[in-house]
Amino acid sequence: MTDLSSTERLIGQLFGDAARTERHDNLIIGEAPFDGQVLAVLGTVDQTYIGADAALAMARAVLDVMRDHPGRAILIIVDNSGHRLGRWDELVANNGCVAHLTKCLDLARRRGHRVIGLVNELAVSAGFMALGMSTDACYALPQAEVRVMALNAMSRVTKIPLDRLEELCKTSPVLGPGVRNFVRVGALRGVWEDDPAEELRRALADNPGEEDMRQMLALERGGRTQAQAITHMVRAGLEA
Amino acid sequence: MSIARHSFLEATARARLAGILDTGSFREFCGPGARRTSPHLKELGMPVAFDDGVAVGEGRIEGRPVLVAAQEGGFMGGAVGEIHGAKIAGLIERALDTRPDGVVLLLDSGGVRLHEANAGLIGMGEIQRRVFDARHAGIPFIVAIGGRNGCYGGTSIVARSCDWIIGSEQGRLSISGPEVIEAVEGIEEFDAQDKALVWRTMGLKHRRLLKEADYLVADDMAAFREAILSCLGKSRPLDLDALEQEHAALSTRIERFRDCADARDIWSRLGINAPERIPELEADEFNSLIEALEGKAP
């Protein structure tokens, strides 16, 4: 008997023992009945890295849902350390595989599947882009972490001293890791503070529709105060 | 021997636009005159740019209307921050209103700008969402890669979300930068100083051989312009059948090259007799080889 991953425990919390999911390496693929409908469930475990294999395996699962269960809602449980850093993954073009996964998730949205993301432990950079940001609404558990890069690595690359970065992070939502910051910049729709099953029920009922609301949320939440105005300016063809 | 080439690699973003577009046709939106600089870089006490490192606008190629974005690799490595990303997002939204013959993205970027990382990352997601919106509305997206920064990180995912990719052999297209792989996984995994390794793993010749890119051109403005022109008005499908086909191709690739440790192993398996010669081939020789490999009449 192996220890259950946090993703599997979360599936238990959400669906009891009614979930029919299987674990393949660091992926969880399956379905679960919920409030009289069946949801497709797709997740990763143990803060896995998204390499070409994982990206394609998840894309396969999304394509299967589109083909076999038109309209079925898809819950993506996100737990990753970002894309895999390795020579082989670059040789076979991991960026193309990750882009393919995002195309599949995006097409599912457009074909009427609700695609809901939930970061349960960690989402890093391209791993968040590949999974969380391609959904029609992405949420996070309160204890989860979302980041582009850990602060000490960011300090090395930007040559900004770590203590200064830490100071700046106290006020700036655009710089540092953290679920609250990603809520403020509009990348997360919200945090699931309550019972996850109740939160899932609410998320399924709250259909954000076709339009991308993230710039608007970012403005309301003070996380990105300029993005929406700039986008409107360019869309209108204004020179200055 | 070609003469009087106008290098794409050496040019600034605006010089590239001048080289790609019909003379005098470019009209910039939210340009330097608007002085919309990054509030986040200012907060950090860092230099800002009046265009935040990207020029966006409309113009013509052989008289045909296009929307264009050109990243300025000389500013913050072309990295995407809040303003930079929002300009590209707005440009793509405009495509839904004006329906140009193509949206042309001259990408030259290391990815997300770490100094405003969260805003840059969500900006990438917003750009990508809008690319898909516009592609589903039948507007073609054409990416050109041939600058010093290559096309890395989130920008590499955006590039592969578009219809067509054109690049010179100086261009690189990959998700991870060589330095990042070396820093995290060690020099045994990737020696970032080994330029030949970088180019044959991430360079556009390898990407063209894998069919990750569509056209390999010389480092010449006119060659880029001609290749972009040939893509205008041509959309690729993005429906379930198209994604199933893409899936089959990618799955076949990763199995076929599962045991390959170096791009030369892949090239050899593709049927190339002298893989060690690939890096030295001029664009036209390389394209003749591609035609022979892919079974087209030269």
Walk me through the domains of chain B, giving residue ranges and CATH numbers: 13-236 (3.90.226.10), 239-298 (no CATH)
pLDDT digits (tens, 9 = 90+) for B222-245: 999 999 999 999 999 999 999 999
Instruction: For residues B172-187, give the mean pLDDT.
Output: 93
Is residue A132 in a domain?
yes
Mean pLDDT is lowest, of A79-83, A132-136, B53-57, for A132-136
- How much is the pLDDT for A157? 84
How confident is the model over A29-50, as pLDDT tens digits?
Answer: 999 999 999 999 999 999 999 9
Contact A231 B93 (CB under 8 A): yes
**What CATH number has the domain bearing residue A121?**
3.90.226.10
Please name the residue that has the structure tokens 């299967």.
Answer: A64
CB contact under 8 A, B154 and A158: no
pTM: 0.97
pLDDT at residue B97, rounded to an integer: 98
Contact state of B90 with A231 under an 8 Å Cβ cutoff: yes
- The pLDDT of residue B296: 63
Average pLDDT of chain B, as a whole number: 96
B47-80 in b/e form (b: 16+ CB < 10 A) is: ebbebbbbbbbbbbbeeeebbbbbbbbebbbbbb
Q: What is the pLDDT of residue A1?
A: 45
pLDDT at B5: 81
Q: What tokens were used for B190?
A: 């990737």
Give the minimum alpha-carbon distance from B180 to chain A in angstroms, rounded to a whole number. 8
CB contact under 8 A, A149 and B117: yes
Assigned domain for A25 exists: yes
Quote the minimal CA–CA distance from A53 to chain B in Å. Answer: 8
Closest to A90 (Cβ–Cβ): which among B36, B157, B176?
Answer: B176
Tell whether the model's pLDDT for residue B1 goes beyond 50. Answer: no
Q: Give residue-wise pLDDT tens across range B8-33.
A: 999 999 999 999 999 999 999 999 99
Mean pLDDT, all residues of chain A: 95
Q: State the best of A63, A148, A216 to mutate against chain B, taking most chain B CBs within 10 Å.
A: A148
Please check whether residue B166 is in contact with residue B144, taking contact to mean a CB–CB distance below 8 angstroms: yes
> What confidence score (pLDDT) does residue B291 get?
96
Cβ contacts of A151-158, under 8 Å, gap ≥ 24: A151/A176, A151/A177, A154/B114, A154/B117, A157/B114, A158/B114, A158/B115
- List CB contacts (< 8 A) between A230 and chain B: 30, 36, 82-83, 86-87, 90
In angstroms, the CA B51 to CA B34 distance is 8
Q: Strands, DSSP E only, in A8-155?
A: 20-24, 27-34, 37-44, 48-50, 74-78, 80-83, 115-119, 122-124, 137-140, 145-147
Instruction: Say which of B33, B115, B118 has its CB closest to residue A187.
Output: B118
CA distance B251 to chain A (A): 7
pLDDT at B295: 85
Is A239 within 8 Å of B29 when comparing Cβ atoms? yes
A174 belongs to a structural domain: no
Nearest to A86 among B30, B181, B254 (CB): B181
The total domain count for chain A is 1
Check if B138 contacts A (Cβ < 8 Å): no
Q: In the prediction, which pLDDT does A207 show?
A: 83
Quick one: pLDDT at residue A68?
Answer: 98
The shortest CB-CB distance from A95 to any of B39, B87, B156 is to B156
Assign A113 to helix, strand or coil: coil
Q: Give per-residue pLDDT as tens, B243-261.
A: 999 999 999 999 999 999 9
**Is A149 within a domain?**
no
Instruction: Give the residue numbers spanning the domain of A130.
Output: 6-141+192-209
Taking contacts as CB-CB distances below 8 angstroms, the residues of chain A near B123 are: 227
Average pLDDT on A74-97 reads 96
pLDDT at B43 over 70: yes
Looking at the domain assignment, is residue A233 inside a domain? no
Mean pLDDT calculated for residue range B123-134? 97
pLDDT of res. A3: 80
Task: Scan residues 176-235 of B and list those with Cβ closer than 8 Å to A.
Answer: 176, 180-181, 184-185, 189-190, 201-202, 206-207, 210, 212
B260 and A88 within 8 Å at the Cβ level: the answer is: yes
Q: What number is the average pLDDT over the span B48-71?
A: 98
Look at residue A113 in the predicted model and tell me its pLDDT: 97
Residue A2, pLDDT score? 61
- What is d(CA B135, CA B137) in angstroms, rounded to the nearest whole number? 5
Q: What is the pLDDT of residue B4?
A: 63
Kindly report the length of chain A.
240
The residue of chain B nearest to residue A91, with distances taken between CA atoms, is B201
Provide the H-helix boundaries in chain B.
13-20, 39-43, 82-98, 117-136, 154-159, 178-185, 195-202, 204-210, 221-231, 240-256, 263-269, 283-293
Chain A residues lying within 8 Å of B202, measured CB to CB: 90
The answer to whether residue A198 is domain-embedded is: yes
Residue A234 covered by a domain: no
Residues 6+ apart with CB under 8 A from B23: none
Is A81 domain-assigned? yes
Instruction: Give the residue from chain A lying closest to B256, CA to CA.
Output: A92
Q: How far off is chain B from A95, nearest CA to CA, in Å? A: 5
**Token pair recorded at residue A49:** 């890295």
pLDDT band at A209 (very low <50, low <70, confident <90, very high): confident
User: Is the pLDDT at A81 greater than 90, yes or no?
Assistant: yes
